[in-house]
Amino acid sequence: MKRISILLALLTLFVAEVAMAAGAVVTSLAGSVQVQTGSAAPRALRVGDEVAQGDTIFTGANSSIVMKFDDGQIAALTANSRMQVNTYSYDPPTQRGNILLSLVVGGMRAITGFIGHNQPNNVRFHAATATIGIRGSDGMIITDGTDVAVTVTEGAFTFTLGTQTIVIPAGRGALGANGQITPGTAQQIFNRLPQNFQSAIGGLEGLTNSINEALEGRQGQPNPPPPPPPPPSQTPGPNTPTGGTGGGSASSR
């Protein structure tokens, strides 16, 4: 009996470790994309492959990848990009965990999942010397290893460079260069960017359909819960105008 209890305890611990040692699945890929785990030799990635904490993903010229993490977060990389999964853990029962992704060079679009919605302070991105935090967000991060550009489509990013931190709401962006952060509208920031940054943004915009497919769960990955259905129509009472329902509906991204 004691041995059975010990085995059950070990099995429970193993299952918990597996749940927390989560990762992402490749939902879309074009061109040449490789992954390197630690000091092992890089290997080619294909749709359906998994990446996990400690992996570094490389995209070649005219290449791209879309990955969906276990909590529903999307990370898409355009051509000539390199991103490291520094930290990724996720506990499905609580929908909580930690994410730290480092964009070494190139362009990334990030859309948050359960962790970002439940624990926004636990989702961070590094790019060059900048740190980007999220507030239930969808946005792009571009870097050449020195300068960093950020644009936000939904929610908000926090952008920290040195001792400066700003909040970037939807429709706006920022450029971090020469130790300074310059905010502006998304279009103003785009107009200031060098050609290679603009090309990276164009490449990410070209992945919109693949990203939407991943968000819709066509690869069998979990999505944030759907909005609750609207309440049933109420029978008009003495104080309710005829034709009124007395209810409403909820919606979410």
| pLDDT tens digits for range 165-224 | 999 999 999 999 999 999 999 999 999 999 999 999 999 999 999 999 999 874 444 444
Give the CATH number, domain containing residue 64.
2.60.120.1440
208 assigned to some structural domain: yes
8 A C-beta contact, residue 115 and residue 134? no
Domains in the chain, number: 1
Q: In this predicted structure, what is the pLDDT of residue 136?
A: 81
Cα→Cα distances 45→49, 57, 70, Å: 6, 9, 18
Q: In this predicted structure, what is the pLDDT of residue 199?
A: 97
Q: In this predicted structure, what is the pLDDT of residue 3?
A: 52
Q: What percentage of the chain has pLDDT greater than the value 70?
A: 77
Domain hosting 29: range is 2-215
Give the pTM: 0.79
45 assigned to some structural domain: yes
Q: In this predicted structure, what is the pLDDT of residue 146?
A: 97
Whether the per-residue pLDDT at 245 is higher than 50: the answer is no
157 assigned to some structural domain: yes
| Segments of the chain assigned E as strands | 23-30, 33-37, 43-44, 50-52, 55-59, 64-69, 74-77, 82-91, 96-111, 123-127, 130-134, 138-143, 148-154, 156-161, 164-169, 172-177, 180-185
249 assigned to some structural domain: no
- Mean pLDDT within 139-163: 97
Q: In this predicted structure, what is the pLDDT of residue 148?
A: 98
146 assigned to some structural domain: yes
Q: In this predicted structure, what is the pLDDT of residue 16?
A: 40
221 assigned to some structural domain: no
State whether residue 203 is helix, strand or coil: helix
131 assigned to some structural domain: yes
61 assigned to some structural domain: yes
Whether the per-residue pLDDT at 53 is higher than 50: the answer is yes
Query: Which band of pLDDT confidence, cut at 50, 70 and 90, is reported for residue 135?
Result: confident
Query: Which band of pLDDT confidence, cut at 50, 70 and 90, is reported for residue 225?
Result: very low
